[in-house]
A and B are shown apart, each in its own frame.
Chain A
Amino acid sequence: MRRTPWSQRFGLNGRGLVVLLPYLWLLLFFVVPFVIVLKISFADIALAIPPYTSLFQWDDQKVLSIKLNFNNYAFLFTNELYFKALLNSLKVALISTLFCILIGYPMSYGIARAKPATRNLLLLLVILPFWTSLLLRVYAWIGLLKANGVINNILMALGLIHEPLAMLYTPFAMYVGIVYSYLPFFILPLYANLEKMDWQLLEAAEDLGCRPWQAFYKITLPLSRNGILAGSMLVFIPAVGEFVIPALLGGPNALMIGRILWDEFFSNRAWPVASAVAILLLLLLVPFMMWYQSIQARESAGAK
């Protein structure tokens, strides 16, 4: 008699397995760490390894006592440093997103309207930076922006300036780094949207009396709305928690929530507070992620 494969006895077929494996992966490497962070955020700081107290304790009478410490959260709300850092992060992410829209929209539009052969080349150029690590690319910007860096040297050689411009370790450098790094994340979803556009609609609009810019404003822009929103979310969400770029390019004054988190964790060894910051940041970003999801759902429904 043939044995039923074990997977079928659990009601699994090939398709189920294919779906299950990634979910197990996510469960293991996303949900479990999240629960651990959540747990730490309710602990107390302690001089131990790891440096926090345990939430669960068995006492002598075999009674499980759970101690939840809300002080970490309370601390975040009483100390205005965190509030300021969070606000500043939102500001930086918002401005970076705006710049990505301003720079990325014309690029996506240009790629979508290029000849098919050119289009692939242009797309490749957008994706090409991913072949190098982010860290290396950010370091490259240091080389470009520093006092005796490439940009300053060229400007001085041309006689346009006589003293090097202070660009590195300024908000300017930080924005350059963030916009540069996240631009492809904006361009790609918007391109996917614009690529589906029926360009004859623009001719129809012109035929009905629109100047080219009016046709863009009334037809192209509303029809690419979902692409803009999707791209913006892909820039905004990670930019809020961005740590590496502000730390390397923004100098010591760049007050970002990601850096606070790093400092609390590594410098102050205040794991519970750092965890509370992480949880709050996550809660803050959940609405944006849900928004992004609903845009994606609308996009794929519209494509049908």
Chain B
Amino acid sequence: MAVPSGTLTNPSQPVKAAPWKDPNAKAYVQIDRVTKSFGDFKAVDDVSLKIYKGEIFCLLGASGCGKTTLLRMLGGFETPSSGKIYIDGEDMTGVPPYERPVNMMFQSYALFPHMNVEQNVAFGLRQDRVAKAEIKDRVATMLDLVKLTDFAKRKPHQLSGGQRQRVALARALVKRPKLLLLDEPLGALDKKLREHTQFELISIQDKLGVTFVVVTHDQEEAMTLASRIGVMNHGEIVQAGTPSEIYEFPSSKFVADFVGSVNIFEGKLIEDEPEFVRIGSEELGGTIYVSHGISAAPEATVWAAVRPEKVFMSTAPPEGTDNVVRGSVQDIAYLGDLSIYLVKLPTGKIVRVTQPNTSRHAEAITWDQQVYLSWDSTSPVVVTR
């Protein structure tokens, strides 16, 4: 039975402003049915996207999904085979990179090795023939912002990875672009530094109000940085939404699986009511009760996705028969803050469960133990593709 998709409530997490929800909001960057083909291969396939002023929009996808090609088209380094790109209302077709109000931070940073930090940052302004005094001012302000004032006279090869990343950022931002493109901005940094830099990047973006488009394959990076994420696969945007929308309301198996880890059970609708559905799943060896309606054809194959942290594990049988299944613990990975349990069901399916380690004393659950797994009726996401 068909049910309007509006019954799926959006996450309650506060969002500063959500222009994408306002049908009258003007898109700052509009990508209109853009396709890019290399021979027979469609790197970007009929992508339409609206990005709003002040957003950090992340293009997330595996390598080869077309995210970098899309970014390079925004920068003017590739021309769309068809479709148009508008930035602040202006058609960018045929506008070369050096005339676009856009700057890019390259994955390799692409700092000029024969120039020092100051000269690198000033390069774009010199090119625009900005007055000398103003260049000096703006470069100094920018170096202060990225905390590199003491390194102004160093050459790029005398800097650490994190410092180089900040020079690249300063060099791209000093021209006050309407749009800043970042290609895997944190890819070359180690984990600790990456986390720190993520927050720094957000605070800089907040301060300057520049619109960011970030390309990344790292979902964690996308989650922390983005106001919205566009998940890409095979040249298409398969879903665009806020990080929590993407995580909690994935629109397809692919998105559910790509963003975070998930348990997916294949099944058939056995009861289909406006307020609930019941799914029979052979894989699970039981039924899944979902407390909201979905839109799918009767008897259609559907998939119920349950996040590992939303699965409860207990040694005593929980109440009810829906959303409960027995299994034995196959493997335990202790990560400190939480533990991952792999539980094998009688059907052979392995279910992933994460539990926070709230007590300092080891939990009683151990290898080969029989456990009950259960979840809330609001937890499963039912997708039809």
By secondary structure, the A interface counts as helix
A window 163-208: CB within 8 A of B: 198, 200-201, 203-208
Alpha-carbon separation in the docked complex, A223 to B110 (Å)? 13
A198 touches B127 (CB 8 A): no
Q: A207-B97, A207-B103 are in contact. Are A198 and B110 (CB under 8 A)?
A: yes
B171 close to chain A: CB less than 8 A = yes
Give the complex CA separation of A200 and B112 in angstroms.
Answer: 10
In contact, A222 and B114 (Cβ under 8 angstroms): yes
Q: Does B113 contact A (CB under 8 A)?
A: yes
**Given A207-B103, A208-B103, A201–B110 Cβ distance below 8 Å?**
yes
Name the B residues within 8 Å of A219 (CB-CB): 112
For residue B64, CB closer than 8 A to chain A, the reply is no
The proximity string for A residues 133-160 relative to B, scoring 1 for CB distances below 8 Å and 0 otherwise, is 0000000000000000000000000000
Decide: A207 and B112 in contact? CB cutoff 8 A. no
Known interface pairs A200-B106, A203-B77. Does A211 touch B113 (Cβ–Cβ under 8 Å)? no
Name B170-186 residues within 8 Å CB distance of A.
Answer: 171-172, 175
A289 interface hit (Cβ, 8 Å):
no
Q: Mark contacts of A194-237 with chain B using CB atoms, 8 A cut-off: 1 yes-contact digit, 0 otherwise.
A: 00001011011111111100100001001100000000000000
CA distance A210 to B104 in the complex (A): 14
| Contact for A206 among B96, B108, B114, B172, CB less than 8 A | B96
Instruction: Verify B98–A204 contact, CB threshold 8 A.
Output: no
> Which residues of A have CB within 8 Å of B112?
201, 204-205, 219
Contact B124 A209 (CB under 8 A): yes
Are the C-beta atoms of A209 and B175 separated by less than 8 Å?
yes
- The one of B111, B113, B124 in contact with A223, judged by C-beta atoms closer than 8 angstroms, is B113
CB of B289 within 8 Å of the partner chain: no
Q: A201's closest neighbor in chain B, by CB?
A: B110
Tell me if B66 is interfacial: C-beta within 8 Å of chain A.
Answer: no
- Kindly identify which residue among B98, B106, B111 contacts A211, using a CB–CB cutoff of 8 Å: B98
B128 at the A/B interface (Cβ < 8 Å)? Answer: yes
Nearest-CB distance from A87 to chain B (Å)?
35
Interchain nearest-CB distance for A101 vs B (Å): 20
Interface residues of B in 104-147 (CB under 8 A from A): 104, 106, 108, 110-114, 123-124, 127-128
B110 touches A210 (CB 8 A): no
Complex contacts, B114 vs chain A, CB 8 Å: 222-223
Enumerate 5 A-B pairs (CB-CB under 8 Å) in ascending A order: A204-B110, A204-B111, A207-B102, A211-B98, A223-B113
